[in-house]
Structure 1
Amino acid sequence: MKKPVKLILLPMLTAGFFFFYSCNQPVIIPDFDTLTDEQRHLPEFALSGISITEGLEAKLFASEPTITNPTNIDIDHKGRVWVLEAYNYRPEITGNEIKPEGDRIVILEDTNGDGVQDKSTVFYQGPEINAPLGIWVMGNQAIVSQSPYVWMLTDTDGDDKADKKEIIFQGISGEQHDHGMHSFVFGPDGKFYFNFGNSGAQLRDKNNQVIKDIHGLEINTDNFKQGLVFRSNTDFTNIEVLGQNFRNNYEVAVDSYGTLWQSDNDDDGNKGVRINYVMEFGNYGYKDEMTNASWSANRTNKEKEIPHQHWHLNDPGVVPNLLQTGAGSPTGILVYEGRLLPEVFWDQMIHADAGPNVVRAYPVKKDGAGYTAEMVNIMVGDKNQWFRPSDVCIAPDGSLFVADWYDPGVGGHQVGDLNRGRIFRLAPPRTRYKIPNYNLNKVKGTLEALQNPNLSWRYQAWMALQGFGAQAEKELAEMFASHENPRMRARAFWVLAKMEGKGQKYVDLAIADSNPDIQIAGLRAARQLDLDLIPIITKLSENNDPQVRREAAIALRFHPSPEAPGLWAKLAVQHDGEDRWYLEALGIGAHSQWDTYFAAWKDAIVEADLNKKANQDIIWRARTGNSIPMLASLAVGQDEPLEDRLRYFRAFDFNPDVEGKSKALINMLNNKEADQQEINRLVIAHLDPQYTKRSPVAMAALKELIAESEGKQEFVDLVSKFSLNEYNTKLLDLAIQNSGNNLGRNAASTLMQLGGKNLIVGKLQSKEDKVVIDMMASLRGIGSNESIALLENVAFDANRSINVRREAASAMGASYSGEERVLDLLREEKFPDNLKASAVNGLSRAWRRTVRQEAATYLENGEDSNLPPMNDLLAMSGMVENGKSVFKNSCAICHQVGEEGMDFGPKLTEIGSKLSKEAQYIAIIHPDAGISFGYEGQILKTKDGNTYGGIISSRTETDLELKMPGGTSVNLKTSDIASIEQMENSMMPAGLERSMTAQEMVDLVEYLMSLKKISSEAK
């Protein structure tokens, strides 16, 4: 892997500036560390703090004010860069005012070849263009993806301005959803490829009718899971779903053989960003295939590491990941088949990941039926971490263009700046931007265009060659037969195969070719052309290359021929027990025909040797009742440790024969094996609930297991799965005892689902504040209307203590629906003054910035406050070191950071990980808003007339310790105490902010926000 190096050519170092030469003109790039914060954000210093890999030079092609916030780009055959802007992106998060004229599609052009745009044209702007995320340009037309729509925009008169707009698709997720529709690309087969993320939900046509795929299945959540990858004709007919169960798959890339590549990102913070080879019709494991449960849900044989758990990689039926890249926010991706960039990037994926500020390549190598890959950085914002690459695209000269969203965060809830944006061009040093021109009226010129690395040229060439028809066949055939680059041969093949009446001839030639990739392209073309696949698969089933056999297995999916089971069995017996890619291809091919395919396999192997890993794999992957006896034998077999047999118990979850697997599982109970207790636990976990309730043996084992698991998440899971409301009282106890964690919340949620609301209400009516607060802590964040209503009733109950009411007001806003309810009550002025700050405090951690900002407007700083409004405070910049001094002077008398300060109030060592900036301000300005449990102030009066104020830190039957501000303590005998009364207000002094200037307050909060938990990696 090449190490990124500074962008320095012919270096001369002068006063902190680096010089290099581009196009024979000196260009100055100052060292990032020498720039002021203001200078670092100026376009003229855009390349400072960014490292470029050896052999490439980066140049700023365009920036603000010409463009802002580029979400996606495409480059047409003229070398012009088409940019989607999204100034109106997520106003509920950014708080920006919407531009009523809408977002823009801008064409940028370099007219003099110096690599810098000097002409810009607004192709289209309108209020309906609302933060679009994908663009594909084809001549005078552009397909623009902007959930819930996909638009076709056409320039009918050649003035580079769209004057016709049509809906292609609609009904995709909601407006401005990042996890909706993304861009289209043109494949070598003359098809369109596109995708949407896990919120796409459905695909509807221009008439708002749900579209059916080529197999007659409606494209919706009933038939397909989460993020999807599609293929269609260029008129948007014959739509196929090529892969499913991704999260936010941002773009799909297709190489010249028709192989698909795609990135996908995890639920934020789990370091599971991945790169995938998209095996056609594969399931990619974001949600549980059978239950749609999240990756974090308990399951048998769960992967040991979270990044692997995230994609259900141990489940049968999940295609493996090519590569996991860690944390990130992956965006644009392509396959670079040009030759201008250094050789390490030839024919490899190039990918933008805005999260870690990087553009990378992923050189792949074949590995059995799959691939391995490594990471090679191209462009890294190692110091300039506002560099947020949102897309990559290849120009007709083979240079690489990178769109830079340019932001302190990464879209979604992190976005912070919509007024800037950059486009960079990367090429070898001193390479001018020269656009080739081809004569598409001649076959020779069109063949040259077909070989260009730019997709727009290849689209133009494809269409022209189809128009030439037989006139182009001879020269195309020569290119197919003899070109030195097999990818160019594949491009010629696809054009020939799709010519009227020529498909069978050229498919036969491709299948007979010595290159496995050409053979694969031939089989893929045969499937698209609906040719007779049996003779082809018969020949390829004996191929030495496992990737060819992989494609043969996939081609058997849905195949009606009576010869298909035998061919599948022939492919299956060649599984070596080590190649998960090959195994999943077999599973894809057997889909909906497992009974006949599995039976043919059993006949082919005569006696299944269950000690053979390859046979174990087939049984584990099978989805037929015929596999159950062997699966059960493997599950209880004593030759392997139980840990190695967990996979077989998990496989029962995917077998469709409920009756057969339930009987087999019950037969495993109480066999008195060495590990029988654990086997009983596994059996119960995988039994069908309704079948279990009909079996006395199963119910006895279930109750024994429930008794053993009391107090654990397993207990909640079992009670929930089997709907056993006789355990509601125990669920209630668990919710109270675990009020500060997910176990308590899950117990409370399950209790509500099982009709235990009255039990919860009983605890909420307790005379003990601690019991009520613990119960509310477990209700907090559930987010159902019922749970929010319970919290609201407590908040507005005037007979409750003020601390309980404040806690309830704060807890109400801990969910998305709760946020809406609290805002409604604030707008209607329903909260009394002594609850308002707590309600706002509960919204200060909201994901949506607009929620936090609106909530803050309902609080005033006080009549004599010298502070500006909250939103003005949030807009100010603070200095950590100054804030540390303010803390020492104003806060350390009661709070500790590390070992510094007094141990009286809550410790603040990791407060930046716990509270948002809004919440920090609220806690200082309105200390009554959220008094931490256990830190409520108490007023103690003794029998001899003394009065003390502080926090009770210890209490026994005979003694009491009261901790007082400043860190001192007093010990009292309980027999001497006349009364104890809880303070209504916080012991933190109100008006503390009046002792500070606005800037000191901002500095203090900046310091508090810097106090974050150190991760194990950082340690």
Structure 2
Amino acid sequence: MKKYQYPFLIVGFSTLLIYCTANKQSGSGQNTSVVKTEEVKPIDFSKSPFVAPEATISKMVVEDGFEVKLVAAEPLVSAPVAMLFDDKARMWVVEMIGYMPDTIGTGEDIPNGKIVILEDKNKDGVYDDRKVFLDSLVLPRAICLIDNGILVAEPTNLWFYEIQGDKPVKKTLVDDQYAVGGNVEHQPNGLLRAMDNWIYNAKSDKRYRKIKDKWVVEHTHFRGQWGITQDNYGRVYYNNNSQNLLGDYFSPGFGASNKNQRGVAGYNEKSVANNKVYPIRPTPGVNRGYMKNVLDDSLRLNEFTAAAAPVIYRGDLFGKEYEWNAFVPEPSANLIKRNILKESGYVTKGEQAYKGKEFLASTDERFRPVTLTNAPDGSMYILDMYRGIIQHKTYLTPYLKDQIGKRELTQPLASGRIYKVVPKNKKTENVILQNNPEQLVKLLGHANGWVRDKAQQKLIDTKSTQAIPLLRSAIEQKENPLFALHALWTLEGLEALKTEEVLAFINNAAWVYKMQGLTAVPAVISKDNYARFSNALDLLIASGDTLAAPYVAFLAPSIKPFDSAASTNLLKKLALAYPDNRYVADAIVSNLQDEEEPFLTSLTSSFKTKDPMVAKQLQKAIANAKSAAANRNPEILKKQFPKGEALFTSICQTCHGIDGNGVKSLGPPLNQSEWVTGSREKLISIVLFGLTGPVKVNGHVYQAPEISGDMPGIGYDPDMQSEDIAQLLSYIRKSWRNNSDQVSTDEVARVRKKLTGRQKAFTEAELNGI
């Protein structure tokens, strides 16, 4: 493979300042100098030429003190969308080659996707060897290395391949419903192997685990859209296309068991609420670029519209000020955002690191960073799909199609780049993990989070029971808490964790230990020890431990199989001790599916305040249960409107929920919405061309960031038949508690003809004029 002649970013801000804020800024966002725009030569942004790999870095501006290195590019890699490092620092890369070959998605179903292994054989920092592990895949989207094998997500299935000599030798179907419904932008992905040894996903409510020779699938919270990451304590973070960063305050396996509850406080929280972006080039090529406030006066994107796979930086290269930082790629604006997170109890919130600039941005429109990842050398890797089209055809507006044509963004399709970001003049070296239990246990305390994770996983995958004595010593040492936490979860993965060890963590005064001990309870509780855990949880309530209180509530179901009365008593004590704590209230309700009413009745006379939060949350769940009981039979509707049900599942469900009651940060309710059950022409118009918020539904005004500010239409797609749209609308007008008349194919065709040439979404005011 050809070596790259310009591996370092050596470019000053001044070469691009006419298109950015012309400010050199500190981490606090304060201006320290200004350069006059006449000092630089303008760049012609009316065109977006293909830039050779050797020249891409010259188009970037990165934070002072850092440089970008190109480590792989075509023909070694093409259209990378996800990757993992193995214990030899080789990259396993998912190539989604078939994504949007043109503006109508011609040939997306061709099996040309691949999983490839890239290796830097001469150890010069540039990958030079490519090996195809799997090919002939249709739009593969995620992988996970585990137990001498690899999970591969190729919709609709999730497969496990055993590996021998870098070749797949046996194929096992793990889940034939992994990615059912949704389009390419809205299907499960991620396969994050988290600290608690479960595998979590974005755009999904499932988690997976291989226990002995059996794959176990469990239900969790629905979270995210593209990409998922974790912090040092195993809490997960994700986002959706318009939200910078979302995350969970609590461990990811708790609190998702009550179908009558819509949202649990502490999950799907806005970790960073500010969604402003600062491109250094005009970005008219975004799907809603014609709409007011989507672009600023210089035609640059104002806020996230395509936020992609984030990463919590956990490396050991960037320095202390970069600890607890979240980086988020925005491929439609050709940039990478930096956020600084802070903890306050169990609440994790953050702010953007800068005002007026980004950590990294490019003037190359084809720079499409879609995934970020921590690396074995402590750096941060960037997967750049490097192509013009990133918007899927389902939502592609005529406006964007025109922009793609003007700047000839369709071709080429076989490109892709992988970069890494490192501090300048800092030597990097990959940590290679040997099959040596003693070395691996030591690496559980390494400063680089990637190394800690990989050492834990390798000890578990190799079933290194000989390491157990060393692990027991590690959880008792006090010098390095992260060493102790990873040792705890390695013991759990080896099925060697003891009751005493978990109780010791629960009783530790430091919250970082206590949180992990509480999280580990379901893994070790049994009929022989449940009473000890029940007593420990009782003591936490009695001691007034506010941080532990939600966890105690989340753990009540673990007690219930052995002592139902003790489980209920824990919840009652919590309800009376923390009547107005929203996090505790929601954690309590999460355990009480279809038991909310008797539980509330048993407590009402004991509350010292009127209408406490826990009572309000219980009443909401009771109302939701009654509403759901009145819903129409979905199986009958599916038979009546098969195409409508299929379209709802693939396009609408992801934002409006399977129950039609809306999804936090995405879409408002369809169930009993006047926009669904009212005027057929208004509804047809919305579905054809979309709706821009705010919008009032049942007296409540929904707007960003409570929901996405813009609902895309599907009428732009000429292949979308009017008959199918009529079925979709008839399906939702009769689903749940809706009971309105059907929409005919002729009505859809008539509205479609009437609106011929329209390119923008409707507003509520426009619709009210129809």
**TM-score, normalised via structure 1 length:** 0.51
Task: Classify the secondary structure of the residue corresponding to 2:565.
Answer: coil
- In 2 relative to 1, CA 109–739 (structure 1 residues): closer, same or farther, beyond 3 Å? closer
Alignment check: 8 A CA contact 2:597 2:618 kept: no
Deviation at 1:239, TM superposition (A): 2.3
Deviation at 1:461, TM superposition (A): 4.3
Partner in structure 1 of residue 716 of structure 2 = none
- In 2 relative to 1, CA 60–87 (structure 1 residues): closer, same or farther, beyond 3 Å? same
1:148 aligned residue (136, 150, 156): 156
Partner in structure 1 of residue 198 of structure 2 = 192
- In 2 relative to 1, CA 175–63 (structure 1 residues): closer, same or farther, beyond 3 Å? farther
Task: Classify the secondary structure of the residue corresponding to 2:624.
Answer: coil
Deviation at 1:70, TM superposition (A): 1.1
Partner in structure 1 of residue 477 of structure 2 = 482
Is 1:397 aligned with 2:382? no
Q: Which has the larger radius of gyration?
A: 1
Partner in structure 2 of residue 258 of structure 1 = 234
Is 1:565 aligned with 2:560? no
Deviation at 1:240, TM superposition (A): 1.9
How many angstroms apart in 2 are the aligned matches of 1:521 and 1:229?
21
For 1:495-514, list aligned pairs within 5 A: 495-500=490-495, 502-514=497-509
Partner in structure 2 of residue 118 of structure 1 = 128
How many angstroms apart in 2 are the aligned matches of 1:254 and 1:494?
15
Partner in structure 2 of residue 237 of structure 1 = 215
For 1:456-495, list aligned pairs within 5 A: 458-459=453-454, 461-464=456-459, 471-495=466-490
Partner in structure 2 of residue 783 of structure 1 = 725
Partner in structure 1 of residue 113 of structure 2 = 103
Task: Classify the secondary structure of the residue corresponding to 1:238.
Answer: strand
Alignment check: 8 A CA contact 2:440 2:459 kept: no
Is 1:575 aligned with 2:578? yes
Partner in structure 1 of residue 624 of structure 2 = 654
Q: For structure 1, which runs of at least 5 residues remain unmatched after alignment?
A: 1-6, 17-30, 198-226, 266-270, 292-311, 624-649, 660-712, 722-730, 747-778, 789-807, 816-837, 846-910, 916-1019
Residues 455-501 of structure 1, C-alpha deviation per residue, up to 9 Å, x if partnerless? 58744544436867664344323322335332222101222345555
Residues 796-843 of structure 1, C-alpha deviation per residue, up to 9 Å, x if partnerless? xxxxxxxxxxxx99962978xxxxxxxxxxxxxxxxxxxxxx79x96x
Alignment check: 8 A CA contact 1:152 1:165 kept: yes
Deviation at 1:43, TM superposition (A): 1.7
Q: For structure 2, which runs of at least 5 residues remain unmatched after alignment?
A: 1-7, 18-39, 276-302, 397-408, 630-668, 691-720, 731-744, 763-770
State the AA in 2 paired with 1:55: G
How many angstroms apart in 2 are the aligned matches of 1:446 and 1:478?
10
Identity value in percent: 18
1:228 aligned residue (171, 186, 205): 205
1:179 aligned residue (180, 186, 192): 186
- In 2 relative to 1, CA 132–368 (structure 1 residues): closer, same or farther, beyond 3 Å? same
Alignment check: 8 A CA contact 2:82 2:371 kept: yes
Alignment check: 8 A CA contact 1:556 1:590 kept: no
Deviation at 1:130, TM superposition (A): 1.0
Partner in structure 1 of residue 612 of structure 2 = 616
Root mean square deviation, CA, Å = 4.7
Residues 482-530 of structure 1, C-alpha deviation per residue, up to 9 Å, x if partnerless? 3533222210122234555542121021112121121111111111223
For 1:998-1013, list aligned pairs within 5 A: none
Task: Classify the secondary structure of the residue corresponding to 2:613.
Answer: helix
Deviation at 1:555, TM superposition (A): 0.9
- In 2 relative to 1, CA 14–346 (structure 1 residues): closer, same or farther, beyond 3 Å? closer
Alignment check: 8 A CA contact 1:62 1:424 kept: yes
Partner in structure 2 of residue 967 of structure 1 = none
Partner in structure 1 of residue 61 of structure 2 = 51
2:749 aligned residue (812, 821, 828): 812
1:162 aligned residue (164, 168, 173): 168
Task: Classify the secondary structure of the residue corresponding to 2:84.
Answer: strand
Residues 827-864 of structure 1, C-alpha deviation per residue, up to 9 Å, x if partnerless? xxxxxxxxxxx79x96xx7xxxxxxxxxxxxxxxxxxx
Partner in structure 2 of residue 548 of structure 1 = 548
Residues 562-587 of structure 1, C-alpha deviation per residue, up to 9 Å, x if partnerless? 1222222222234374x533432232
Task: Classify the secondary structure of the residue corresponding to 2:81.
Answer: strand
1:133 aligned residue (130, 134, 141): 141
For 1:520-535, list aligned pairs within 5 A: 520-531=515-526, 532=530, 533-535=533-535
Task: Classify the secondary structure of the residue corresponding to 2:186.
Answer: coil
Partner in structure 2 of residue 41 of structure 1 = 51
Alignment check: 8 A CA contact 1:64 1:419 kept: yes
How many angstroms apart in 2 are the aligned matches of 1:120 and 1:813?
54
State the AA in 2 paired with 1:436: V
Partner in structure 2 of residue 276 of structure 1 = 247
Deviation at 1:374, TM superposition (A): 1.9
How many angstroms apart in 2 are the aligned matches of 1:622 and 1:787?
33
Structure richer in helix, relative to its length: 1
Deviation at 1:161, TM superposition (A): 3.8
Residues 716-737 of structure 1, C-alpha deviation per residue, up to 9 Å, x if partnerless? 967997xxxxxxxxx8xx778x
- In 2 relative to 1, CA 122–814 (structure 1 residues): closer, same or farther, beyond 3 Å? farther
Alignment check: 8 A CA contact 1:59 1:424 kept: yes
How many angstroms apart in 2 are the aligned matches of 1:152 and 1:112?
31
Deviation at 1:392, TM superposition (A): 1.4
- In 2 relative to 1, CA 585–362 (structure 1 residues): closer, same or farther, beyond 3 Å? farther
How many angstroms apart in 1 are the aligned matches of 2:269 and 2:438?
42
Partner in structure 2 of residue 357 of structure 1 = 334
Deviation at 1:275, TM superposition (A): 0.9
Task: Classify the secondary structure of the residue corresponding to 1:125.
Answer: strand
Aligned pairs, number: 594
How many angstroms apart in 1 are the aligned matches of 2:588 and 2:360?
40
State the AA in 2 paired with 1:370: V
Alignment check: 8 A CA contact 2:100 2:108 kept: no
How many angstroms apart in 2 are the aligned matches of 1:435 and 1:466?
21
How many angstroms apart in 2 are the aligned matches of 1:177 and 1:717?
28
How many angstroms apart in 1 are the aligned matches of 2:425 and 2:688?
63
Deviation at 1:316, TM superposition (A): 9.0
- In 2 relative to 1, CA 379–151 (structure 1 residues): closer, same or farther, beyond 3 Å? farther
- In 2 relative to 1, CA 254–64 (structure 1 residues): closer, same or farther, beyond 3 Å? same
Deviation at 1:742, TM superposition (A): 5.8
**TM-score, normalised via structure 2 length:** 0.66
For 1:278-677, list aligned pairs within 5 A: 279=250, 280=252, 320-324=269-273, 325=275, 326-376=303-353, 379-381=359-361, 383-413=363-393, 416-417=410-411, 418-448=413-443, 451=446, 453=448, 455=450, 458-459=453-454, 461-464=456-459, 471-500=466-495, 502-531=497-526, 532=530, 533-557=533-557, 559-560=559-560, 561-575=564-578, 577=580, 579-595=581-597, 597-599=599-601, 601-602=603-604, 604-605=606-607, 608-610=608-610, 615-623=611-619, 653-654=623-624, 656=626
Deviation at 1:599, TM superposition (A): 4.6
Deviation at 1:622, TM superposition (A): 0.7
Alignment check: 8 A CA contact 2:76 2:129 kept: no
Deviation at 1:41, TM superposition (A): 2.4
- In 2 relative to 1, CA 450–33 (structure 1 residues): closer, same or farther, beyond 3 Å? farther
How many angstroms apart in 2 are the aligned matches of 1:433 and 1:488?
23
How many angstroms apart in 2 are the aligned matches of 1:743 and 1:79?
47
Residues 74-106 of structure 1, C-alpha deviation per residue, up to 9 Å, x if partnerless? 111211222211221245854445696622222
For 1:857-868, list aligned pairs within 5 A: none
Residues 204-256 of structure 1, C-alpha deviation per residue, up to 9 Å, x if partnerless? xxxxxxxxxxxxxxxxxxxxxxx314142355533221213x4x532333344
Partner in structure 1 of residue 695 of structure 2 = none
Task: Classify the secondary structure of the residue corresponding to 2:117.
Answer: strand
Which stretch shifts more, 325-334 or 54-63? Answer: 325-334
Deviation at 1:404, TM superposition (A): 0.9
State the AA in 1 paired with 2:141: L
Residues 610-629 of structure 1, C-alpha deviation per residue, up to 9 Å, x if partnerless? 1xxxx431221014xxxxxx
Higher relative contact order, chain-length normalized (CA < 8 Å, sep 6+): 2
How many angstroms apart in 1 are the aligned matches of 2:675 and 2:683?
19
- In 2 relative to 1, CA 583–56 (structure 1 residues): closer, same or farther, beyond 3 Å? farther
